[in-house]
C-alpha cells in the first residue's frame, strides 16, 4: 500500500503552462520538514506482526528494503514505546537497547538505498489483551470502558492457531501516572534517532476517542 502526499487534482499545470497528469505530480520532488524527497510515493505504516520477542527481524529488513527507493519515504509499522504498549502479537518495540540494535541493520539498508525512514511511535492504550500485557495486567487507558465490538484482539496460541477475542477491560491511569506515558514517547523518539530513523507521529486507534 502506498500513500500519496498532498493528493492533488487529477490535472495540474506544469511550468510550461500545459496540463500535466497526476502521475507526473507523483514523481515530483517535495520537501517534508527537514527532508527533501525526490518523489511522493510513500509507504504507509503497516503492522505486519513479523517481529520476534519484540525485536526487528531479517524478514522485516527484506520488507523495508524491497520498498525503499532513492529519494523516497518509508513510514515504519507502529513500533511500541513500552512493554505495556503492545496490542498485537509479534510487534516490535523501541524501548530497550536490544530493540534499538535490531533496527539498525534495517535503517542502514534503507538509507543505503537512499530513502528516508520514519519510525511510527505506538502505544495501543486500551486496545490490548491481558495475554499481551506484562504480568497479564489490564491494559492501561484513560477509561475503564473496553474497546467496543466489532473491534477484537488477535491472539495466537502455542500451536500457532489464531483467534479473535474481545479487548480486555482497561485500567484507567491515575493522573500521577501520565508523566510516565509522556516519557515513554520521549525515550521512544530518542531511541528511534539512535536506531537511525527520524521519528513520526504516534498512532491513533481507528475507533476514535476513549469515552
Residues that bind ligand FMN (CB under 6 A): 1, 44-47, 77-78, 120, 203
Nearer to ligand FMN, 10 or 48 (CB): 48
Least separation in angstroms between residue 49's CB and ligand FMN is 9
Nearer to ligand FMN, 54 or 120 (CB): 120
Least separation in angstroms between residue 205's CB and ligand FMN is 10
CA distance 25 to 121: 29
Residue among 166, 170, 172, 202 at smallest CA distance from 81:
202
Nearer to ligand FMN, 116 or 120 (CB): 120
Least separation in angstroms between residue 175's CB and ligand FMN is 28
Residue among 36, 41, 38, 63 at smallest CA distance from 51:
63
| Sequence-ordered alpha helix ranges (H) in the chain | 22-26, 58-67, 97-113, 178-194
| Sequence-ordered alpha helix ranges (H) in 44-150 | 58-67, 97-113
Least separation in angstroms between residue 137's CB and ligand FMN is 23
Give helix 97-113 / helix 58-67 axis angle, nearest 10°.
Answer: 30
Nearer to ligand FMN, 47 or 54 (CB): 47
Amino acid at each position: 500500500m502506498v500513500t500519496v502526499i498532498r493528493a492533488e487534482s487529477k490535472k495540474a499545470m506544469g511550468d510550461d503552462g500545459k496540463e500535466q497528469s497526476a502521475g507526473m505530480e507523483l514523481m515530483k520532488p517535495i520537501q517534508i520538514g527537514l527532508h527533501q524527497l525526490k518523489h511522493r510515493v510513500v509507504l504507509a505504516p503497516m503492522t505486519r506482526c513479523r517481529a520476534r520477542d519484540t525485536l526487528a527481524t531479517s524478514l522485516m529488513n527484506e520488507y523495508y528494503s524491497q520498498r525503499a527507493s532513492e529519494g523516497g519515504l518509508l513510514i515504519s509499522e507502529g513500533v511500541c514505546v513500552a512493554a505495556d504498549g503492545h496490542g498485537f502479537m509479534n510487534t516490535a518495540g523501541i524501548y530497550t537497547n536490544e530493540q534499538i540494535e535490531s533496527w539498525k541493520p534495517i535503517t542502514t539498508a534503507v538509507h543505503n538505498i537512499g530513502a528516508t525512514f520514519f519510525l511510527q511511535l505506538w502505544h495501543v492504550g486500551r486496545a490490548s489483551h491481558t495475554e499481551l500485557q506484562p504480568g497479564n495486567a489490564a491494559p492501561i487507558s484513560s477509561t475503564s470502558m473496553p474497546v467496543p465490538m466489532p473491534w477484537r484482539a488477535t491472539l495466537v496460541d502455542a500451536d500457532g492457531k489464531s483467534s479473535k477475542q474481545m479487548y480486555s477491560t482497561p485500567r484507567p491511569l491515575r493522573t500521577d501516572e501520565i508523566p510516565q506515558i509522556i516519557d515513554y514517547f520521549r525515550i521512544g523518539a530518542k531511541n528511534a534517532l539512535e536506531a537511525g530513523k527520524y521519528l513520526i507521529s504516534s498512532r491513533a486507534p481507528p475507533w476514535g476517542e476513549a469515552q
